[in-house]
Amino acid sequence: MPGSLEEQTVYIFAPTGRDARLIVDTLSEADILAKTCSSRDELSRALQTGAAAAIISEEALSSQDVQELARHLESQPFWSDLPILLLTFAGRPTPQNISSGRAAEVLGNVTLLERPLRPMTLRAAVRSAIRARMRQYQLRRRQESLQHAISELEQFAYSASHDLREPLRNIAIFSELLEKEHLAALDKTGRQYCNFVRASAKRMETLIDDLLAYTRLNDDESHNEPTTADAAKCVEMALASLSTAITESGAEIEVGPLPVVSMRSTHLYQIFQNLLANAVKYRGEAPPRIRVSASREEGFGWRFAVKDNGIGISPEYQERIFGLFKRLHTNAKYSGSGIGLAICQRIVQRSGGKIWVESEPGRGSTFYFTVKHERLAPGGRG
């Protein structure tokens, strides 16, 4: 499917009218849409609305123009890599073509075309640039339609979970009323059935709440809130929310120095909340011993680790547990919805990191995840 006229247009920025006219004539003979720009500003504006390629002669660009254009090109979306054909002078280096060498480096997807230019060479280079650009636009359309399909699915999951709550609430209320007001009419088995109904409704409510939390992660991202989080504070908040379970289990938790990272603090809190809750929940015979730490990940940022001495996970399940609703135990043994790790994975992957576990059954687990860094927070706990 062809894109807009702008997306099929080649923009030309050449200072001498003769050069530009020659290029326009050569391209229009080949049925290629071409437009000339009289200034770099006009070129930048044109590129903003979409372009097939740009043809620029090196003497048209001052070094400031090169920097401005480079900045403009750097802000392109991920699918976009605008082809630029840079017309250079053949022969001895001059101040102009020295600057074109630098321009070629900073402008990215640049093809150098030496003058005098043969029309055939120009047409072949422009056609190849346009073909590459059309593939980029195709990629953008695919990505947009995929994103649309994902949003619709998420919207569906959200509405479905939301609509399920009301009948569920009724089940819980009426089973409670039945037990309360008709207790005498119920024998022991009847009362037991009522309890099962109530417990199942409660469990379904938890599942739906967790599913809603998972689908809401997308809404969170549209808010554009500050994206730095102090990991030490997030851990502290997570520990506070788990204080009852920590006290009951006799867990000892050690927290090393933690950095400030590029991530929303609600998200980092959610990760620690899930990992620490699991470290306490999936404990063995001994009271939980948990350690939270961070170390630098070369060329990326930080690698966090949450280490426990719990029941551990067999190697064959170590990837599967990050999937939605994937659990290794019955609800009677360990309660849960199988969504916590899926939420962690989604958050981490969206910020460009990864999450994984290293574990041996019976010998504890260490969950790792990576995050881009900001700066080291002073001190630490533990």
Q: Is 259 one of the binding residues for ligand ADP (CB under 6 A)? A: no
- Spatial CA neighbour of 277 closest among 217, 341, 353, 323: 341
Which long-range contacts link 89-94 to residues 24+ away (Cβ below 8 Å)? 89/58, 89/59, 89/114, 89/115, 90/114, 90/115, 90/116
- Which among 121-129, 182-190, 213-221, 334-342 is the span making contact with ligand ADP, rule CB under 6 A? 334-342
The pair of three-digit structure tokens given for residue 272, joined into one six-digit string: 């620690």
Contact predicate 235/292, CB 8 Å: yes
Please state, in angstroms and rounded to a whole number, the distance separating the CA atoms of residues 46 and 41. Answer: 9
Site string for ligand ADP, 355-374 (x = CB under 6 A): ----------x---------
Helix 265-281 vs helix 231-241: crossing angle, to nearest 10: 50
Let me know the angle formed at the C-alpha of 76 by 44 and 229, rounded to the nearest 5 degrees: 130
Cis peptide bond upstream of 287, omega within 30: no
Q: Is 338 one of the binding residues for ligand ADP (CB under 6 A)? A: yes
Specify the residue, 301 or 340, whose C-beta has the smaller distance to ligand ADP: 340
Residue of closest CB approach to ligand ADP? 336
Q: Which of 46, 87, 201, 313 binds ligand ADP (CB under 6 A)?
A: 313
Residue 149 CB, nearest approach to ligand ADP (Å): 25
* Number of chain residues interacting with ligand ADP (CB under 6 A): 22
Q: Which of 36, 262, 265, 337 binds ligand ADP (CB under 6 A)?
A: 337
Residue 192 CB, nearest approach to ligand ADP (Å): 26
Site string for ligand ADP, 273-312 (x = CB under 6 A): -x---xx--x-------------------------x-xxx
C-alpha torsion sign, points 250, 256, 260, 263: negative
Residue 98 CB, nearest approach to ligand ADP (Å): 58
Binding site for ligand ADP (CB under 6 A): 274, 278-279, 282, 308, 310-313, 321, 326-329, 336-342, 365
